[in-house]
Amino acid sequence: MIPALLTALGALFSAVGKIFEFLYARNLANAGKVQEQLDALRRQVKDAQIAVAAREAVRASIAANPDGVSDDDPFRRD
């Protein structure tokens, strides 16, 4: 009777161990997805900061020379 009980208890612990391994692996996969999303958001913030800086540079240029046209404007018609 004791060997059967030990066998059943061993099987139970083995099943619980497998469940914890599965949950741990799933948690790592979710953490990887979250990290990828965070990296994508960081890239978007960086791009937005570049765009804001460019907009501010244009505003400063217009404020410094309101009557002029930008000399290096590639879309200017001659």
Coil/strand/helix, residue 55: helix
Strands (E), the chain: none
pLDDT of 47 reads: 94
Q: At 73, list the tokens.
A: 């404007």
pLDDT tens for each residue of 39-70: 999 999 999 999 999 999 988 888 888 777 66
DSSP letter string, 7-27: HHHHHHHHHHHHHHHHHHHHH
